[in-house]
């Protein structure tokens, strides 16, 4: 049974939580709308998320000592943007909201558990974030992980310049008979 003091504390904590959620919703909505309005599901500020998580997701496939690492990460980000751009409008909005959530510092810290900015985050922090989302009890976080994972893998393996790094000669040539 709640005491009156516990009831009041719980009410105040709940009210503060709702107020914080309302305050955070506006920047997230604005970031998601800006990404969609620009005609690019991943605006430049959100590309940092892809550039940070791609090497971690692609461990073993992504060359660690690639001299063109920055160019490869940019190609992955562009591939993700291309894939997201091919989705339905509703799916584009959801993915834009996911990246806005991850790019916005307060929600990145609260939901992803990554306190440093994405370009400063350690591999260990990013691995921990991805592992927590992959094995989360919440289906929403699991589906967020799956979306990030599939988008990054799809962009990497669809890039002909990445095929050499993984020993793939490319699709067989079609011969007209």
45 within domain boundaries:
yes
Cα 144 to the chain's mean position, in Å?
A: 8
Assess if residue 169 is contained within a domain.
no
Per the domain annotation, does 15 fall within a domain? Answer: no
| Residue 54 domain-assigned (yes or no) | yes
pTM here? 0.74
Distance in angstroms (rounded) separating the CA atoms of residues 123 and 57: 10
| Residue 61: partners with Cβ closer than 8 Å, 6 or more residues away | 156, 165, 166
Residue 1 has pLDDT above 90, yes or no: no
Confidence of residue 93 (pLDDT cuts 50, 70, 90): confident
CA distance 101 to 66: 30
Length in residues, the chain: 177
pLDDT digits (tens, 9 = 90+) for 24-69: 666 555 555 554 444 455 566 568 899 999 999 998 777 766 677 8
Q: What is the pLDDT of residue 39?
A: 47
* Residue numbers of the domain that contains 101: 27-161
How many Cβ atoms sit within 10 Å of the Cβ of residue 142? 14
d(CA 109, CA 112): 6
Q: Which of 103, 102, 81, 101 is CA-nearest to residue 36?
A: 81
Residue 11 domain flag: no
Q: How many domains does the structure of the chain reveal?
A: 1
In a domain, 67, yes or no: yes
> Is 146 contained in some domain?
yes
149-153, Cβ contacts within 8 angstroms, sequence gap of 24 or more:
149/57, 151/50, 151/80, 151/83, 151/84, 151/95, 152/50, 152/53, 152/54, 152/57, 152/58, 152/76, 152/80, 153/57, 153/58
Stronger pLDDT, 64 or 92, i.e. the higher one: 92
């Amino acid at each position: 049974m709640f005491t009156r003091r516990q009831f009041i504390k719980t009410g105040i904590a709940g009210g503060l939580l709702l107020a914080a959620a309302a305050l955070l919703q506006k920047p997230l909505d604005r970031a998601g709308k800006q990404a969609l309005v620009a005609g690019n599901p991943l605006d430049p500020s959100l590309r940092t998320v892809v550039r940070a998580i791609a090497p971690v997701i692609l461990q073993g496939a992504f060359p660690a000592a690639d001299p063109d690492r920055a160019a490869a990460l940019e190609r992955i980000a562009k591939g993700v943007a291309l894939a997201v751009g091919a989705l339905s409008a509703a799916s584009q909005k959801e993915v834009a909201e996911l990246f806005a959530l991850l790019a916005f510092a307060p929600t990145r810290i609260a939901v992803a558990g990554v306190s440093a900015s994405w370009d400063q985050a350690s591999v260990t922090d990013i691995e921990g974030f991805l592992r927590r989302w992959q094995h989360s009890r919440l289906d929403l976080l699991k589906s967020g992980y799956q979306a990030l994972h599939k988008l990054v893998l799809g962009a990497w393996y669809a890039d002909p310049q990445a095929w050499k790094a993984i020993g793939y000669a490319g699709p067989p040539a079609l011969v007209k008979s």
